[in-house]
Amino acid sequence: MKNLLLLLSTILICLFPITIHAENMMTVKLTNYIENPSKLKIEFKGDYKSLDPTLTIKEGVAYQLTMKKGSLVLKGKKEKHTFQDSLILIPDKYDENHILYINDRPYLGAMEFRAEEDNTIRPVNQLPLEDYLKGVVPFEVYPTWDLEALKAQALAARTYAASHINEEINDTISYQVYGGYTWKEKTTKAVEETKGEVITHKGKLIEAFFSASNGGVTESNKNVWGGKAQSYFPIKKDPYDPIEPWEFTLHRTQIDLNTIDWDAFDWWDALQEKDKDISESMKRYLKGKGYSGDLKILAIPKFELAEKQLSSERSVKGSLTVEFMERLFDGTVLFHRYNLTNVNLNKIRPMIGGTIFKSYLIDSLEADKESYTMKGRGFGHGVGMSQWGAQGMAESGKSYREIIQFYYPGTKITPFDK
């Protein structure tokens, strides 16, 4: 597989030798926008070639790629081709007039379609670093933001991507959200006007962490992930972050056992938790812990925070107890209790959901007989650049260089020369 990717790189360099260098190619596994990975619609603008000499790709034809008995099957107009392991498609010329569409989403560059387990087709896109960034920045921030804020985001994204040049990444928040050739004018300008610039410290690329909002206080990398505290990730007040507060309510009782009509044929399907979004998040978490049957959240008898806080005022530990029912495939119903006692909050937050329990900068957690109410500030880990704070700095007249220096103090902006 690695040899195939090297071949793709070599071909693209030959197609576009002036601007593409072998070490500046990104390899991105596409998962974020693939709803049905066993069947894909593929279309083309411009001429494309395959490594299979028997296959001729035609512009304007809607192809269907499916899995059959572990092999890839490509069907077009009166055509059918079978591939054992992978299908590689390469544009005759690398430019914006050669576009490959997967389920109507456009991509530049070469594309490999791999046959994976469970009838899964996995597209893998390979393209130059700078064009990859043009498909990243508008999905990480609002593309209508001030240009200087977008430039700062472009540098953070490029620095992150540069540290993953020799890896195969994906298009989700696990790395950076990548939307393909869905470029926006302003974010493209931000990438082009900072072309090749990265953030370094003592001659090395930094880990350019960022989050949506730090709630008015930046955080140390050591407090979040452990390891050595980096000087360019200090804990300090941020006067530019808008400090948007958040809160959520979680009911102690989600489903009252006393109200269940056990004799009804559809009693299970009729059960609805009070806090649907949070209960769905809890179910996903519990399934990841091995509870494979159908689940219903019954109650949350305990939800507490430990008193200890970091110097950034962020909370560290807490406790959560969840009671739930599990219906097995044979209809057997089991009752369970799942306890998290005095654990790091990064184990509890996924149970609630990161878009609900937005940060560890928690102002209060109050409880009464019916529910818990948590209030806090920020959105994300708070390490490095606040995206909303960067926008605030840009609106106040600061340049992207000043933004970078504020959020990554002591670093330098240098050309990327790998």
pLDDT band, very low/low/confident/very high, at 5 (cuts 50, 70, 90): low
Mean pLDDT over 315-323 rounds to 97
The number of C-alpha atoms within 13 Å of 350 and in the hemisphere containing its C-beta is 12
Q: Kindly report the average pLDDT of the chain as a whole number.
A: 92
Q: Residue 316 pLDDT > 80, yes or no? A: yes
Domain boundaries, the chain: 2-128, 135-242+382-415, 245-377
3-class DSSP state for residue 269? helix
Which of 62, 58, 82 lies closest to 71 in space, CA to CA?
82
Q: Give the global pTM.
A: 0.86
Greater model confidence, 18 or 156: 156
E strand residue ranges, 84-171: 86-91, 99-102, 105-107, 110-116, 120-128, 168-170
pLDDT at residue 329 greater than cutoff 50: yes
Give the per-residue pLDDT at 18.
Answer: 45
DSSP 8-state symbol, 22: G
Closest CA to 365 of 355, 356, 375, 357: 375
Bigger pLDDT: 418 vs 157 = 157
Identify the pLDDT of residue 12.
Answer: 53
Q: How far apart are CA 302 and CA 250, in angstroms?
A: 11
Over residues 156-175, the mean pLDDT reads 93
Q: If residue 157 lies in a helix (H) or strand (E), which one and from where to where?
A: helix 147-162
| pLDDT value at 21 more than 80 | no
pLDDT at 418: 63
Q: How confident is the model at residue 142 (pLDDT cuts 50, 70, 90)?
A: very high
Mean pLDDT of 319-344: 96
Q: What is the mean pLDDT of residues 290-295?
A: 95
Evaluate if residue 206 carries a pLDDT over 80. Answer: yes
Nearest to 100 by CA among 55, 153, 47, 152: 47
Residue 165 has pLDDT above 60, yes or no: yes
User: What interhelical angle do 276-288 and 345-352 show, nearest 10?
Assistant: 120
236: exposed, middle or buried (Cβ count in 10 Å: 0-12, 13-18, 19+): middle
Work out the percent of the chain whose per-residue pLDDT is above 70. 94
What span, in angstroms and rounded, lies between the C-alpha atoms of 228 and 219? 13
Closest Cα partner for 157 from 186, 124, 180, 190? Answer: 190
Task: Inform me whether the pLDDT recorded for 186 exceeds 50.
Answer: yes
- Give pLDDT, residue 53: 81
The token pair at 347 is 């184990």
